[in-house]
Amino acid sequence: MPEVISRMQFLSGDLNGRRAVIRPPWAGDENSFVEQCTQCGDCIPACPQGLIREGRGRFPVLDFKMGGCDFCRDCVKACKPGALKYDPQIDSPPWNLKAHILDSCLSLNAVVCRSCGEVCDERAIRFELRTGGNALPVFNQDTCTGCGECVSVCPNGSIRVSSNSSREKAA
Record the pTM: 0.80
Instruction: Determine the Cα–Cα distance for residues 150 and 154; give it in Å rounded to an integer.
Output: 6
β strands within the chain, DSSP E: 52-54, 60-62, 98-101, 125-129, 135-139, 159-162
Q: Look at residue 21 in the predicted model and tell me its pLDDT.
A: 87
How confident is residue 43, by pLDDT bands cut at 50, 70 and 90? very high
Q: Look at residue 122 in the predicted model and tell me its pLDDT.
A: 94
More confident residue, 43 or 2: 43
Instruction: Determine the Cα–Cα distance for residues 64 and 42; give it in Å rounded to an integer.
Output: 19
100 neighbors 127 (Cβ within 8 angstroms): no
30-34 average pLDDT score: 92
Output DSSP code: residue 29.
S
152-167 average pLDDT score: 82
Instruction: Determine the Cα–Cα distance for residues 130 and 108; give it in Å rounded to an integer.
Output: 11
Q: Look at residue 165 in the predicted model and tell me its pLDDT.
A: 47
Q: What percent of the chain has pLDDT over 70?
A: 84
How confident is residue 87, by pLDDT bands cut at 50, 70 and 90? confident
Architecture of the domain whose range is 98-162: 2-Layer Sandwich (3.30)
Fold of 7-78: Alpha-Beta Plaits (3.30.70)
Instruction: Determine the Cα–Cα distance for residues 123 and 90; give it in Å rounded to an integer.
Output: 25
β strands within 102-156, DSSP E: 125-129, 135-139
